[in-house]
Amino acid sequence: MWYVIDGMDGCGKSSAAEFVKEQLEAKGRRVLLISHPNKDIKIGQKEAAWLLKEGKFAKIMATQYYIRDVLHSVRVMKKAKKNDEYDDFVFVRFIMAVSYVPTGIGKLAYKLFKVLLPEPDFKFLIDINAETAMERILSRGETLESFENIESLTTTRDRMLVFTPDNWHVIDNNGSFENAKSQISESINGGQQ
């Protein structure tokens, strides 16, 4: 099975992905978790570097490296499936990155990706309001990426919610992570897709 954990910065994607991985491994499943940007490869490193820069050109460069990063991960997944190395795959960030570009372009890119990329078995959007996301981002003590401000986070969240009716499980992570874990478990164990 292929699980995608998506959402804006600070929403708790990595924690949710680790939880999904732990749940699957507890059932004896072999799981490969891949995060984007994938800092283990050069494309992902370049993507991460561009995310720290300001301006339209930086957004374009980060986006094109992101696309290449995800395509690389899809190839890794296909090869691992063919070689029977893993039972399940968990991606942190997949298609919702289109929400970081202007709405018209984002809608077009979403439709294009839906046609070109394989369809995950489970798609989770970890939802959170911009203020809570910003608090969590600041608590990390890391250099802020160009999208990590209240205005950008609000716009990004609004755009992401436009795409979610398409078989996405929307997980509310504004409160306790225990509540989010319960929602994820219910979706996975209920077999809803």
- β-pairing, 122-127 vs 169-172, is parallel
Per-residue pLDDT at 112: 80
CA 149 to chain centre: 18
pLDDT tens per residue across span 92-125: 998 777 777 677 777 777 778 778 888 899 999 9
Query: For residues 29 and 101, which has the higher predicted lDDT (pLDDT)?
Result: 29
Tell me the average pLDDT across 134-155: 90
Of 42-46, 99-103, 177-181, the range with the lowest mean pLDDT is 99-103
3-state secondary structure of 170: strand
- pTM score, whole prediction: 0.87
Residue 91, beta-bridge partner list:
4, 34
